[in-house]
C-alpha cells in the first residue's frame, strides 16, 4: 500500500489508536477480502497490517497495535528484523530460486549444519529442509516408517501437528481443523498425554498410562513413531509433568520406535532455551522445526539421527521450493540473531513479567485456573469461578475486546479457554506491561 512506510524496530514503539478497530480502511479491505478470498480463510483480528517491528503492528488506518502473538510464535527476532531484511534483500538480488535438489547452494547446507549443532543431543545428525511445519511432520513420519519398516504413528490428546491430510489425522481438535475434511490418513492412534492441571498425574504416572495404552491398543511391533510436542501449543500451552517426556523417550528407545519431538512452536529460544526439550535433557530421534526458524520466511526442517535420516534413498525427500535460497539466508540471519541478542534470556525475562502479572491477579480471582508455560510461551487457563470448568466465552470476549483496545492477543486450547502470550522477543518491557495491563483490566471488568 503506502510505499514509504518501513517496518522493523525503528517504528514508534507505542500503542496508538486513531480510529475504532478495525478502522475504515481495514473495513474496506475486509469487504474486498470477503468478496475475493475463500470463507474458510477466516480472520481473527481484521486489522490489515502495513508495517510491523519491535513489539508493534501498524494497520492501514494508522493504528499501532501491541503484538502479543508474533504471528503465532514466528517473529521471535521481531518483525522485519534488520539482519533478516538485509539477508533477504541481498539474496533476492542474487538469485531467487534454483531448486536445491537440481542445482544446490551453500545457505541450505549452512542451515543444516546449524540445526545439527543446535538441536538437543551431540550425536551424528542430518537435516532436510521443507516449507511449512506440516510438511516437516509429514516427512518425519515418512522417514520413521521407512527406517522402522513399521506403519503406526502415536499422537496425543490435545496435540496439534498441522492441516494437511496426514497432519489433520495427527491433530486432535475437530473444530476448526478437521470437521468435514475427512477421511483422514490411517494408522494414526491418539492416546492420553500429560495435562497436570486437569489430570493431576505425576510425569511417571502419566507416562505409565500412555505406555500401557500404546502397548494394549497399538503394539510396539507395529509402531513406527511417537510424535509429541514438548509443550503442547494449539492444545493449550500444556507443559507435561516432569519426567513424562524422558519416560516416553526411554520406552521408544527400548522398543525400536522413533521418538519425534515436534518443536515447531516451542523451538528457537521461545521457551527460554533454544529448544524446549533442553529443559529435561530429552534427546529425540527426530526433531521438527519451523515457525521461529527464519524470521517469517517459510521454512521448516527435520533434523535427527544420521542413521535414521540417511536410511531413505536419494530423491525420497524434496519439494520444488523446499529450503529456498531466500528462506535459508533468512534463517541464518535469524539463528544468528537469537544468539547475538541473547534472546533465550530475553524470553525468560518476558516470561517472568507475564507470570508475575497473573500470579498477582490469581490471588484474588479464582477464574485464573492455571498459569503455565516456559519463557515467552506463557498462558492462563480461564475457568468459572471456584471450579475448573472451562470458560471459553470469557476467553473469547477478552481477546475480542483487547483487539478493540489495540492489543493482539491469541487464544488456544481444546476447550477454547486459554489465553496465550507469544510476544516477539524484541518487545520492550514497557509495551509488554501495557499490553498485559489491558488484559488484566479486561478480566477484572468482566467479573
Ligand X SMILES: *Cc1c(COP(=O)(O)O)cnc(C)c1O
Q: Which residues are near ligand X by CB under 6 A?
A: 132-134, 137, 160-162, 229, 233-234, 262, 264-265, 290
Pick the closer one to ligand X by CB: 292 or 351.
292
Toward ligand X, which CB reaches closer, 67 or 234?
234
56 vs 297 by CB, closer to ligand X: 297
| Residue 76 DSSP symbol | T
- Containing 428, the helix (H) or strand (E) segment is none
The nearer residue to ligand X, 70 or 132, going by C-beta atoms, is 132
Of the two residues 234 and 391, which places its CB atom closer to ligand X in the complex? 234
Taking phi first (over 0 means left), then psi (-120 to 50 degrees means alpha), and beta for anything else, what does residue 94 get?
Answer: alpha
The CA distance from 328 to 239, in Å, is: 30
CB-nearer residue toward ligand X: 290 or 376: 290
Handedness of CA 300, 303, 307, 308 (dihedral sign): negative
Closest CA to 234 of 167, 295, 334, 331: 167
The least CB distance from residue 164 to ligand X, in Å, is 7
CA 441 to chain centre: 27
Compare residues 232 and 357 and give the one whose CB is closer to ligand X: 232
Comparing CA positions, the residue from 118, 152, 170, 142 lying closest to residue 303 is 118
56-59 sheet: strands from edge to edge: 49-53, 56-59, 64-67, 407-408
Residue 261 has φ and ψ, to the nearest 5°, of -100, 125
Minimum Å distance from CB 264 to ligand X?
A: 4
Cβ 33 to ligand X, closest distance in Å?
20
CB of 133 to ligand X, least distance (A): 2
Q: Which of 135, 97, 165, 83 minimizes the C-alpha distance to 330?
A: 83
Give which of 126, 182, 194, 185 is closest to 156, Cα–Cα: 194
Write down the least CB distance from residue 185 to ligand X, Å.
15
66: Cα within 13 Å, side-chain hemisphere: 26
Question: In the complex with ligand X, which residue's Cβ is closer, 133 or 406?
Answer: 133
Which C-beta is closer to ligand X: that of 136 or that of 201? 136
The residue whose Cβ lies closest to ligand X is 133
**Interatomic CA distance for residues 258 and 223, integer angstroms:** 9
In the complex with ligand X, the residue whose CB is nearer, 133 or 390, is 133
Cα-trace Rg, the chain:
21
CB 322 within 8 A of CB 100: yes
DSSP 83-151: HHHHHHHHHHHH-S---TTTS--HHHHHHHHHHHHHSS--S-EEEEEESSHHHHHHHHHHHHHHHHS--
Where would I find the beta strands (DSSP E) of 10-60? 49-53, 56-59
DSSP single-letter state for residue 278: G
Q: How far is the CB of 199 from ligand X (least distance, A)?
A: 20
Alpha-helical regions (H) of 341-416: 343-362, 392-404
What CA–CA distance (Å, rounded) separates 296 from 66?
A: 18
Nearest distance in Å: CB 69, ligand X? 13
Name the minimum Å distance from CB 275 to ligand X: 12
Single out the residue of 380, 431, 413 nearest to residue 57, CA to CA: 431
Between residues 118 and 290, which has the closer beta carbon with respect to ligand X? 290
Amino acid at each position: 500500500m503506502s510505499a514509504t512506510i518501513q517496518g522493523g524496530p525503528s517504528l514508534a514503539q507505542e500503542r496508538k489508536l486513531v480510529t475504532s478497530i478495525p478502522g475504515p480502511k481495514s473495513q474496506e479491505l475486509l469487504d474486498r477480502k470477503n468478496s475475493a478470498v475463500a470463507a474458510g480463510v477466516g480472520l481473527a483480528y481484521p486489522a490489515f497490517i502495513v508495517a510491523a517491528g519491535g513489539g508493534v503492528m501498524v494497520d492501514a488506518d494508522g493504528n499501532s497495535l501491541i503484538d502479543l502473538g508474533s504471528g503465532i510464535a514466528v517473529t521471535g527476532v521481531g518483525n522485519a528484523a534488520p539482519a533478516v531484511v538485509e539477508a533477504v534483500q541481498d539474496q533476492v538480488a542474487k538469485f531467487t530460486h534454483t531448486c536445491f535438489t537440481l542445482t544446490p547452494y551453500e545457505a541450505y547446507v549452512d542451515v543444516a549444519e546449524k540445526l545439527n549443532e543446535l538441536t538437543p543431543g551431540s550425536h551424528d545428525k542430518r537435516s532436510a529442509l521443507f516449507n511449512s511445519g506440516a510438511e516437516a511432520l509429514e516427512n518425519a513420519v515418512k522417514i520413521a516408517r521407512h527406517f522402522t519398516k513399521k506403519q503406526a504413528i502415536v499422537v496425543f490428546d490435545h496435540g496439534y501437528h498441522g492441516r494437511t491430510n496426514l497432519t489433520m489425522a495427527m491433530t486432535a481438535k475437530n473444530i476448526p481443523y478437521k470437521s468435514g475434511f475427512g477421511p483422514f490418513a490411517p494408522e494414526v492412534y491418539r492416546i492420553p498425554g500429560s495435562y497436570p492441571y486437569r489430570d493431576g498425574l505425576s510425569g511417571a504416572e502419566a507416562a505409565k498410562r500412555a505406555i500401557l495404552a500404546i502397548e494394549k491398543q497399538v503394539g510396539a511391533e507395529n509402531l513406527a513413531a511417537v510424535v509429541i510436542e514438548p509443550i503442547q501449543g494449539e492444545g493449550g500451552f500444556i507443559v507435561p509433568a516432569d519426567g513424562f517426556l524422558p519416560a516416553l523417550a526411554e520406552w521408544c528407545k527400548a522398543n525400536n520406535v522413533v521418538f519425534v519431538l515436534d518443536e515447531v512452536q516451542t523451538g528457537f529460544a521461545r521457551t527460554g532455551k533454544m529448544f524446549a526439550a533442553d529443559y529435561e535433557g530429552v534427546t529425540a530421534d527426530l526433531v521438527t522445526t519451523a515457525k521461529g526458524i527464519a524470521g517469517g520466511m517459510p521454512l521448516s526442517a527435520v533434523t535427527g539421527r544420521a542413521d535414521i535420516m540417511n536410511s531413505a534413498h536419494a530423491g525420497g525427500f524434496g519439494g520444488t521450493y523446499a529450503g529456498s535460497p531466500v528462506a535459508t539466508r533468512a534463517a541464518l540471519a535469524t539463528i544468528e540473531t537469537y544468539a547475538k541478542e541473547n534472546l533465550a534470556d530475553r524470553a525468560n525475562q518476558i516470561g517472568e513479567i507475564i507470570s508475575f502479572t497473573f500470579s498477582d491477579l490469581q490471588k484474588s480471582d479464582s477464574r485464573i485456573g492455571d498459569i503455565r508455560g516456559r519463557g515467552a510461551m506463557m498462558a492462563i487457563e480461564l475457568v468459572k469461578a471456584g471450579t475448573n470448568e472451562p470458560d471459553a466465552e470469557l476467553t473469547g470476549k477478552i481477546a475480542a475486546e483487547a483487539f478493540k483496545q489495540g492489543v493482539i492477543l491469541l487464544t488456544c486450547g481444546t476447550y477454547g479457554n486459554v489465553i496465550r502470550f507469544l510476544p516477539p522477543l524484541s518487545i520492550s518491557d514497557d509495551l509488554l506491561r501495557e499490553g498485559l495491563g489491558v488484559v488484566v483490566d479486561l478480566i477484572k471488568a468482566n467479573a
